[in-house]
Chains A and B, each alone.
Chain A
Amino acid sequence: MNDIRTIALVAGVLLLLSIVTGVGQFLKRHPDRGIDAAAVRTFNMRIRGWWVLCTVLAAAFWLGSTATVTLFGFVSFWALREFITLTPTRKGDHRALFWVFFLFTPLHYVLVGLNRYDIYSVFLPVYATLFVLARAAVAGDYKRFLERTAKIQAGLVVCVYCLSFAPALLELHVDRGPEGISQLSSRDANFRLLFFLILLVQFADCMQYVWSRMLGQRLVAAAVSSNRTWEGLLGSATSTALLAAVLWWAAPPFQPWQAAIVGLVVAVMGFAGGMTMSAIKRDRGVKDYGTLVVGHGGVLDRIDSICFAAPVFYHMTVLVIGS
């Protein structure tokens, strides 16, 4: 049963990627169709990004849950690097930052890998926060104290804590037995659940763009983002809910109506993540995290939606399993 679903999901994704790749190449070869060449280029770049994403994820899934948790750990580390690079800190934060990067972030992912929810759910929000506050105070620099420590804390929560709930899905006991009682977690079901989350987030991002381009009238906050509209949000939430309901069989614990609600919430959270990161970027006067340092693709630009969606998705899954 599990294998059939996994094969169906993989085949479906490959088919869909092949189709959009074909469309992209067709549009590239026929520039006379009246479609903006820049838009086609962006579209093709996006598709290439999906191929890379799917290949990396497939490799990590094949290697197992430890490899997947490690992969997400490195993504978190790199995203935090971009976040702190962009945020001005002072010399007094240096030692606190050292421990944040080399102790708290790796240790958090070790706890996620060991499935110690009781510890990792408070480790960064409570203990890392207390440490950063105390370490900055001991360093003897009180200028803009709360502002500086809040920046480090925000970076840790968004880039590390929130993102880690995506690989944490691998440790849940999601597959229901015939009596509706959850059994020992089966690897396939967990990986499908994680892929379901990533798929929904990516889809919601695209739909947000498509609906905004087609019907977008009212900007949510013109000063923060010039392409996120209420119409885009509504359209993306509806389409993502629909897709989730159609694909409910791929995500183990959900009934179709539950999957639809999950899809809706994921779309809204992804939107919230994008808006938040836009606000930070606007404040620092850069367009995306990638342009800050030339040659480094902005990891944070890619993962802002999933950072916000992952914890909510995780807890909704736990709720459904528990009921």
Chain B
Amino acid sequence: MLAPADMPTPPLDQSVSRSPLCKITGLGLAGMARLLAGASIRWIASQPDTCQRVYFANHTSHLDALLIWASLPRLIREITRPVAAKDYWSRGALRRWLAEEVFNAILIDRTDIKVHQSPVDLMLRQAGDTRSLIVFPEGSRSTSGEVGEFKSGLYYLAKKRPEIELIPVHIDNLNRVLPRGEFLPVPLLSCITFGPPLWLERDESKLDFLARARRAVLSLKE
């Protein structure tokens, strides 16, 4: 794993300058999430990097996005934006503040998806040329613990911006830390595994690509 000092400095970006309160809250929440979920972080055939990336993971718990975000080295965290559901994260002032100011999340309206305002376009516009994204291609949290079929958003992301690195991430045991429908966490040990990047192959069909991406996440489970 790279020590923060060895990493290239992130590209300067004046568009987002967060207040000290947001930064401290972010650091505190990241530390707390990692401690509470006993997260061990592994990079398999892959390294943390500040280049533009899309991290895609299986979705099992409300803590998923927070924990992936917290698992990244701090410099990379600064330029990485989780993509989250608007209906959940804009309810209440605290949640909205956390999502918009602290995590710098991109909120997607799951109920109001139109052709001319597709979520993928919105994500890419918000990401610009420097920001990385955290997405959950299953769309919603799985209840069974199995990784469901991937929705097509990841494919369109890869097609529109073929140069972005797609990093598969597997989240293990977090569904037991905070299952669906619970609000009190149980401090078990979880594991976040980052895999090697993949790209959309030339002439690869949508179904083939989505199946390959899903296999890439599953292969990190061991």
**Does B176 lie at the interface of the complex (its beta carbon under 8 Å from any beta carbon of A)?**
yes
Chain A residues with CB below 8 A from B168, complex form: none
A294, B186: Cβ atoms closer than 8 Å: no
**Does B72 lie at the interface of the complex (its beta carbon under 8 Å from any beta carbon of A)?**
no
Give A residues with C-beta under 8 Å from B.
77, 81-82, 84-85, 89, 91, 94-95, 97-98, 101, 292-296
Cα(A98)–Cα(B184), bound, Å = 7
Residue in contact with B186 in the complex, picked from A82, A98, A295, A296, CB distance below 8 Å: A98
Nearest Cβ distance between residue B60 and chain A, in whole angstroms? 12
Nearest Cβ distance between residue A149 and chain B, in whole angstroms? 15
B179, A85: Cβ atoms closer than 8 Å: no
Contacts A85-B173, A91-B179, A94-B179 given: A293-B40 contact, CB under 8 Å? Answer: yes
**Does B147 lie at the interface of the complex (its beta carbon under 8 Å from any beta carbon of A)?**
no
A94, B173: Cβ atoms closer than 8 Å: no
Contacts A294-B40, A295-B40 given: A82-B189 contact, CB under 8 Å? Answer: yes
Chain A residues with CB below 8 A from B159, complex form: none
**Does B191 lie at the interface of the complex (its beta carbon under 8 Å from any beta carbon of A)?**
yes
Contacts A98-B184, A293-B38, A296-B38 given: A81-B189 contact, CB under 8 Å? Answer: yes
Nearest Cβ distance between residue B1 and chain A, in whole angstroms? 11
Nearest Cβ distance between residue A132 and chain B, in whole angstroms? 13
A296, B187: Cβ atoms closer than 8 Å: no
B187, A81: Cβ atoms closer than 8 Å: yes
User: How many positions in chain B have a CB within 8 Å of any CB in the partner chain?
Assistant: 16
B184, A293: Cβ atoms closer than 8 Å: no
Cα(A278)–Cα(B35), bound, Å = 27
Chain A residues with CB below 8 A from B179, complex form: 91, 94
Chain B residues with CB below 8 A from A294, complex form: 40, 42, 191
**Does B122 lie at the interface of the complex (its beta carbon under 8 Å from any beta carbon of A)?**
no
B186, A94: Cβ atoms closer than 8 Å: yes
Nearest Cβ distance between residue B26 and chain A, in whole angstroms? 23
Chain A residues with CB below 8 A from B187, complex form: 77, 81, 101
Query: Which 7 pairs show the lowest CB-CB distances between chains A and B?
Result: A295-B40, A293-B189, A85-B189, A97-B186, A85-B188, A98-B184, A293-B40
**Does B182 lie at the interface of the complex (its beta carbon under 8 Å from any beta carbon of A)?**
yes
B191, A89: Cβ atoms closer than 8 Å: no
Nearest Cβ distance between residue B73 and chain A, in whole angstroms? 15
For the A-B complex with A97-B186, A295-B41, A296-B40 known, give 16 more contacts whose Cβ atoms are closer than 8 Å.
A81-B38, A81-B188, A84-B186, A85-B176, A94-B176, A94-B182, A94-B186, A95-B184, A98-B184, A101-B186, A101-B187, A292-B189, A293-B189, A294-B40, A294-B191, A296-B38
Nearest Cβ distance between residue B70 and chain A, in whole angstroms? 15
Nearest Cβ distance between residue B55 and chain A, in whole angstroms? 19
Chain A residues with CB below 8 A from B184, complex form: 94-95, 98
For this complex, 23 residue pairs linking A to B, each with C-beta atoms less than 8 Å apart, are A77-B187, A81-B38, A81-B187, A81-B189, A82-B189, A84-B186, A84-B188, A85-B173, A85-B188, A89-B176, A94-B176, A94-B179, A95-B182, A98-B185, A98-B186, A101-B186, A293-B40, A293-B189, A293-B190, A293-B191, A294-B191, A295-B42, A296-B38
Chain A residues with CB below 8 A from B188, complex form: 81, 84-85
Cα(A295)–Cα(B40), bound, Å = 6
Residue in contact with B189 in the complex, picked from A94, A101, A296, CB distance below 8 Å: A296
Which of chain A's residues has its CB closest to B41's CB?
A295
Cα(A91)–Cα(B41), bound, Å = 25
Q: Please, what's the 1-or-0 string for B179-206, where 1 marks a CB less than 8 Å from any CB in chain A?
A: 1001011111111000000000000000
Chain B residues with CB below 8 A from A97, complex form: 186
Which of chain B's residues has its CB closest to A80's CB?
B187
Cα(A85)–Cα(B187), bound, Å = 9
Nearest Cβ distance between residue B170 and chain A, in whole angstroms? 13
Cα(A97)–Cα(B179), bound, Å = 12
Q: Which of B179, B185, B187, B190 has the most CB of A within 10 A?
A: B187
Chain A residues with CB below 8 A from B38, complex form: 81, 85, 293, 296
Chain B residues with CB below 8 A from A293, complex form: 38, 40, 189-191
Near A by CB (< 8 A), chain B positions 62-101 give none
